[in-house]
Amino acid sequence: MATVYALIIFIAAAIFSFALTPLFIDIFKSSGRLVKNYKGQMIPQGIGLMFPIYLLLWYALLSLLDNGYLRQALPIQFAVTTVCFIGFIDDMLGTRDVLGLKGHFKSLLRGRLTTGAVKAIVGLSVAFVISLSLTSNNVEVIVNTLIIALFTNFFNLLDLRPGRAIKVYIIAFLAILIGLIATDKSAVILPFIPLAGFIIGYMPYDLKARSMMGDAGSNVLGISIGFLAASAFSWPVKIAILAFLIGIHIFTEKYSLTELIEKNSLLNFLDNLGRS
């Protein structure tokens, strides 16, 4: 019964998102909030702002049907709204003369505050607050904080081509779902189902380069996956995930993730799938 309920919620959320996304795109277009994408086309950026708005509406509705739902929903809503807001600030006010976490913190040490540094500091703070709500073990709090914060930034790094970040989100979400089902913890993922539906409903617009979700959207994808991973997995799995995230961040400080994908035939095929 829970599976059917979750599937209904997912499908309804996807339809809702697909139907309303053009309205948000029109808002950005009419106000001239357009930027060049990787092909030089002028399209709206920051459309991911709609994710926490959709989520709040759905959580309010679902909480009316089930009072206990609100307790699970509030931490997710807090996390998603906060990182989306700070990501949207970076989308609207950020410059690209400083890149990478290392670059932003170097700039901060020189006395110049960038929107990227603000985004990193707020993201780390949100990750810490979430981690404190999950466990009282100090070491685990640190590990969870790093997993959540690095996942959030990892999806920022991915969101350089249409649909790329969402494809990785789908793979990560399904992998976590399978892991939870295998360990009989599938209930953990239920509050994240509406958000997954919204992201899938938005995906066609991102994939066809009609809009960019921006850091406002990629932050939401990243923190939700990080939240799930920190909530669901055992200690050894978390250490493995953290090692991967640290490794990929060290790699991207020196090398281009896009170039790596383009040089690998399988990754390049998956990256381009559905784009043309």
pLDDT score recorded for residue 111: 67
The number of beta carbons lying within 10 Å of the beta carbon of residue 124 is 17
CB 216 within 8 A of CB 44: no
Q: How far apart are CA 135 and CA 230, in angstroms?
A: 10
pLDDT in tens, the chain (276 residues): 567 888 899 999 999 999 999 999 999 999 888 888 888 889 999 999 999 999 999 898 888 877 777 788 899 999 999 999 999 998 888 666 656 566 656 666 676 667 777 888 899 999 999 999 888 889 999 999 999 999 999 999 999 899 999 999 999 999 999 988 888 888 889 899 999 999 999 999 999 999 999 999 999 999 999 999 998 888 899 999 999 999 999 998 888 889 999 999 999 999 998 886
Using CA atoms, how far residue 158 sits from 12, 14, 83, 240, in Å, is: 27, 22, 16, 20
Q: What is the pLDDT of residue 103?
A: 61
pLDDT of residue 274: 86
